[in-house]
């Protein structure tokens, strides 16, 4: 079973820690992932789409299910979901609410108070902990109530932002991975061709060197 710690609900995550996590994500989990560029890029797309859904606390479960369904890379999908966390949730979902409001009414007027309920998810339902409550009717009752309470504007804005982000993330990450792997293979080939000339001398130069030493 895939075990993943969800850093979104840790209080000690600073900006420097987040930067290190993103560097590690891009360099190790994306560029050096042992998978095809298509499946890695698909994992990025799934993670970005789910990250914009207004279901903070349930996103890990949704992302893993979608990734398994379309055979995307799960190790890439999960970290992308961490874009939305208690620090970034209000700016992201607030912007999505205004976007949805504009799409539906053509106006930015209104009170985006609905998205504040997102951060009220009980700890036992957060992250992968939700897996242990799937058999409980109370869990599904709570999830349905949360979805209904968030408002149409927020859902529309989040879905539009998620689809656009997923599409951009797929094509950009796939292209970057392909280019990076080609350049990395070319560097390895150059090193392999250059290495023998560094450690061995040509036959003519070796004989000349022995003659000079004698």
Q: What is the pLDDT of residues 5-42, one digit of tens each?
A: 444 444 444 556 556 666 666 666 677 777 899 999 99
Name the DSSP letter for residue 63. Answer: H
d(CA 56, CA 3): 19
Question: Domain for residue 112, yes or no?
Answer: yes
Question: Domain for residue 205, yes or no?
Answer: no
- Token pair 């996103």 is at which residue? 59
Q: What is the pLDDT of residues 114-164, one digit of tens each?
A: 555 655 666 666 655 666 777 777 777 776 676 666 678 888 999 999 999
Question: Domain for residue 5, yes or no?
Answer: no
Question: Domain for residue 199, yes or no?
Answer: no
For the chain, the domain total comes to: 1
Question: Domain for residue 83, yes or no?
Answer: yes
Domain hosting 171: range is: 10-189
Question: Domain for residue 156, yes or no?
Answer: yes
pLDDT of 206 over the 70 cut: no
Question: Domain for residue 208, yes or no?
Answer: no
Question: Domain for residue 151, yes or no?
Answer: yes
The model scores a pTM over 0.75: no
Q: Distance of CA 38 to CAs 3, 43, 113, 173, Å?
A: 24, 9, 39, 9
């Amino acid at each position: 079973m895939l075990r993943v710690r969800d850093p979104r609900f840790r209080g000690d995550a600073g900006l420097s820690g987040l930067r290190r996590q993103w560097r590690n994500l891009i360099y190790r989990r994306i560029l050096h992932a042992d998978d095809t560029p298509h499946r890695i890029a698909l994992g990025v797309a799934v993670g970005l789409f789910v990250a914009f859904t207004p279901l903070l606390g349930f996103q890990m479960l949704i992302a893993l299910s979608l990734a398994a369904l379309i055979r995307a890379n799960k190790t890439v999908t999960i970290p992308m979901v961490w874009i939305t966390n208690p620090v970034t949730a209000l700016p992201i979902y607030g912007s999505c609410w205004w976007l949805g409001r504009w799409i539906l009414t053509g106006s930015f007027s209104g009170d985006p108070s609905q998205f504040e309920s997102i951060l009220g998810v009980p700890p036992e339902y957060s992250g992968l902990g939700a897996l242990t409550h799937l058999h409980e009717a109370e869990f599904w009752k709570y999830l349905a109530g949360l979805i209904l309470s968030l408002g149409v504007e927020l859902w529309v804005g989040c879905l539009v932002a998620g689809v656009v982000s997923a599409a951009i993330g797929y094509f950009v990450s796939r292209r970057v991975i392909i280019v990076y792997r080609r350049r990395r293979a070319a560097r390895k080939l150059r090193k392999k061709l250059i290495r023998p000339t560094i450690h061995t001398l040509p036959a003519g130069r070796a004989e000349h060197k022995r003659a000079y030493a004698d």
